[in-house]
């Protein structure tokens, strides 16, 4: 039994924000860096705040925890308060679909990675292919170090 009212508990829980899980965003961030897939921004301020975004290329990557987003492979549901958790997970899934659809309509490529798939080789391949495809379709080119240093010196 909780020692605070339902309304107070709801307000408390609404203030709790995720900062990146070790098995999700942090793990994929390390893999992206090691694979040389750089230039991303974290928590970019577009619909759904993607975990990783390449704004110039309009690519958004979300890393979804298996429990919170109802992974079909992991299928874990607590034995207590089952209805609450089922409703919560279904609400998260509806929000995921709505956010992905909104971004796609705005011209973004949306990639969703489940927690259990972060370390699969196909995950990095999928992200890399999306980056290559968008770069080929546009005139976007990463700046070289000398260009970056020149523009930084000019800005001073």
Q: Is residue 13 part of a domain?
A: no
Percent of the chain having pLDDT more than 70? 82
Question: Domain with 79 in it: what CATH number?
Answer: 3.40.960.10
Average pLDDT in the chain: 85
Q: Greater confidence, 4 or 105?
A: 105
* Dihedral-angle region of residue 61 (phi above 0 means left; psi in -120 to 50 means alpha; beta otherwise): beta
150 is a domain residue: no
In a domain, 125, yes or no: yes
How many alpha carbons lie under 13 Å from residue 77 in its C-beta half-sphere?
Answer: 13
Q: What is the pLDDT of residue 152?
A: 47
Mean local confidence (pLDDT), 112-121:
93
Residue 71 has pLDDT above 80, yes or no: yes
Q: Taking the model in full, what pTM does it have?
A: 0.77
Assigned domain for 67 exists: yes
Q: Tell me whether residue 117 is in a domain.
A: yes
Q: What pLDDT shows up at residue 16?
A: 64
Q: How many domains does the chain have?
A: 1
Q: Is residue 156 part of a domain?
A: no
Bigger pLDDT: 18 vs 133: 133
Residue 147 covered by a domain: no
Q: How far apart are CA 96 and CA 4, in angstroms?
A: 31
pLDDT at 78: 84
Q: What pLDDT, on the 0 to 100 scale, is given for residue 138?
A: 79
What integer is the mean pLDDT of 92-114?
A: 96
DSSP 142: P
The mean per-residue pLDDT over the stretch 96-100 comes to 96
Mind spelling out the 3-state secondary structure of 86-122? HHHHHHHHHHHHHHHHHHHHCCCEEEEEEHHHCCCHH
Please give the pLDDT value at position 151. Answer: 47
Task: Report the DSSP beta bridge partners of residue 53.
Answer: 41, 60
Task: With respect to residue 10, please indicate whether it lies within any of the assigned structural domains.
Answer: no
Owning domain of residue 52: 19-136
């Amino acid at each position: 039994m909780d020692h605070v009212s339902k309304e107070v508990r709801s307000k408390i829980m609404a203030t709790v924000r995720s900062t990146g899980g070790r098995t999700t965003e942090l793990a994929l961030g390390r893999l992206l860096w090691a694979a040389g897939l750089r230039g991303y921004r974290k928590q970019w301020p577009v619909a759904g705040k993607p975990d990783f975004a390449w704004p110039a290329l309009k690519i958004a990557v979300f890393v979804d925890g298996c429990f919170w987003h109802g992974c079909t492979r992991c299928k874990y549901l607590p034995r207590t308060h089952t209805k609450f958790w089922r409703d919560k997970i279904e609400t998260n899934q509806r929000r995921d679909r709505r956010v992905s659809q909104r971004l796609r309509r705005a011209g973004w490529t949306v990639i969703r990675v489940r927690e259990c798939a972060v370390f699969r080789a196909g995950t990095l391949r999928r992200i890399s292919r999306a980056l290559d495809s968008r770069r080929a379709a546009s005139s976007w080119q990463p700046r070289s170090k000398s260009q970056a240093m020149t523009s930084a010196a000019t800005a001073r």
